[in-house]
């Protein structure tokens, strides 16, 4: 994790906010992008949301009091931007409840988007079929190696609920991959 | 397939090693440039850049909250209905007034005494239904032929 870099960035921000912010972007850009891309699948959507995230970080950097870790705060913004984006997309899917899911699956199957092997594609298909928040929990635990304690602070959910959510996600994924 | 799934779920790589989505070449360098150039145009010392307008906050709140839309919809529809009713009622009254004036103007009532004039105006008051064309025709005939006496009323 980037915890050890946070102190360095916070010190830089105090000395020169622009230099500090540039360093913040440099350190977190890949992780934030990957975090968002795993949820929205499409590169252009992930690009927009990543930029939005860092712009919001910039707009609120003076308000950051250091009560939470810097990475927790950045991931909170990125997560909220992503979930709001997915929620807005769902609202425009008037014709079918599964429109958003179908859209994500189509993007996953587009050759320019995904380069994993067959089993990895099946795994990602199964993940797309999960509800948004459960998918988020799974991605953060499985791909990004967050602890339940860290996830609890980012998602503002109890560790118990997160453990249960991850457990259910794993069961659903196993079933989907076995059946398909 | 189940064994493969279990194997993957147990022994996954983390971060970049397990990221199988295609990223354009030099994307992250370009991303950083885009973010820095966007934020350079935003002066965070100015308050108006930080605060959203109240209208955008309200719109965003309503848009993201189904319940707000559901509860406000009857109120909005009720308001639209009430406005239309008031306008229609006003239009109805205006039309009546115009019809009375037109009716009176088309006929030559200059030599009619005041009582007769007021009786006709009263019969076409806004709270009573208008006479149809046939009735007006009959009245005109009677007027022209001097058959309008007190007993008629």
Do residue B50 and residue A59 have CB atoms under 8 angstroms apart?
A: yes
Lowest mean pLDDT among A22-26, A55-59, A143-147, B7-11: B7-11
What's the structural domain count of chain B? 1
Q: Is residue B127 part of a domain?
A: yes
How many whole angstroms separate alpha carbon B149 and alpha carbon B103? 20
Question: How many other C-beta atoms can be found within 10 angstroms of the C-beta atom of residue B106?
Answer: 10
CATH 1.10.1740.10 in chain A, residue ranges: 1-94
Q: Is residue B124 part of a domain?
A: yes
Q: Give yes or no for residue B49 having a pLDDT over 60.
A: no
Q: Is residue B48 part of a domain?
A: no
Confidence band, pLDDT 50/70/90 cuts, at residue B112:
very low
Domain, as residue range, for B144: 107-153
Nearest CA in chain A to B40: A18
Give CA separation, B77 vs A101, B86, B90, B99, B129, in Å.
34, 14, 20, 33, 30
Q: Give yes or no for residue B150 having a pLDDT over 80.
A: no
Contacts across the A-B interface (CB distance below 8 Å) = 103
Q: Is residue B114 part of a domain?
A: yes
Classify A116-180 by CATH class.
Answer: mainly alpha
Angle between helices B54-64 and A70-91 (to 10 degrees): 70
CATH 1.10.10.10 in chain A, residue ranges: 116-180
Nearest CA in chain B to A173: B5
Of A58, A112, A123, the CB nearest to B44: A58
Contacts 24+ apart (CB under 8 A), B118-123: B119/B153
How many whole angstroms separate alpha carbon A78 and alpha carbon A9? 18
Q: What is the ipTM of this complex?
A: 0.84
Average of pLDDT values for A38-57?
Answer: 94
Confidence band, pLDDT 50/70/90 cuts, at residue B87:
confident
Do residue B42 and residue A33 have CB atoms under 8 angstroms apart?
A: no
Q: Is residue B112 part of a domain?
A: yes
Classify A1-94 by CATH class.
Answer: mainly alpha
At residue B22, φ and ψ (nearest 5 deg) are -75, 135
Q: Is residue B136 part of a domain?
A: yes
Do residue A41 and residue B21 have CB atoms under 8 angstroms apart?
A: yes
Question: How many other C-beta atoms can be found within 10 angstroms of the C-beta atom of residue B32?
Answer: 15
Q: Residue B139: left if φ>0, alpha if ψ -120 to 50, beta else—which one? A: alpha
């Amino acid at each position: 994790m980037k915890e050890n870099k946070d102190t360095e960035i916070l010190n830089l921000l105090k000395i020169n906010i622009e230099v500090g912010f540039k360093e913040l972007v440099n350190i977190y850009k890949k992780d934030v992008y990957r975090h968002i891309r795993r949820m929205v699948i499409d590169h252009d959507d992930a690009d927009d949301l990543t930029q939005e995230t860092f712009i919001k970080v910039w707009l609120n950097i003076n308000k950051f009091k250091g009560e939470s870790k810097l990475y927790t705060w950045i991931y909170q913004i990125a997560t909220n931007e992503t979930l709001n984006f997915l929620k807005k997309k769902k609202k425009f899917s008037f014709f079918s409840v599964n429109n958003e899911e179908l859209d994500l699956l189509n993007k996953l199957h587009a050759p320019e988007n995904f380069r994993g092997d067959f089993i990895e594609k099946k795994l990602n298909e199964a993940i797309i079929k999960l509800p948004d928040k459960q998918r988020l929990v799974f991605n953060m635990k499985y791909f990004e190696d967050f602890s339940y304690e860290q996830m609890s602070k980012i998602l503002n959910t109890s560790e118990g609920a997160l453990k249960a959510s991850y457990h259910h996600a794993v069961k659903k994924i196993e079933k989907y991959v076995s059946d398909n | 397939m189940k064994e493969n799934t279990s194997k993957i779920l147990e022994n996954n790589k983390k971060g970049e090693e397990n990221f199988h989505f295609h990223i354009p070449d030099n994307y992250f360098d370009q991303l950083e440039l885009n973010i820095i150039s966007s934020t350079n145009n935003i002066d965070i010392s100015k308050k108006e850049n930080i605060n959203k307008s109240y209208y955008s906050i309200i719109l965003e709140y309503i848009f993201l909250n189904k319940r707000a839309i559901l509860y406000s919809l009857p109120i909005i529809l009720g308001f639209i209905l009430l406005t239309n009713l008031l306008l229609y009622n006003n239009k109805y009254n205006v039309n009546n007034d115009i019809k009375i004036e037109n009716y009176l103007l088309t006929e030559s009532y200059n030599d009619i005494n005041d009582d007769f004039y007021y009786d006709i105006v009263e019969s076409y008051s806004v709270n009573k239904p208008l006479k149809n064309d046939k009735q007006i025709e009959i009245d005109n005939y009677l007027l022209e032929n001097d058959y309008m006496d007190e007993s008629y009323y």
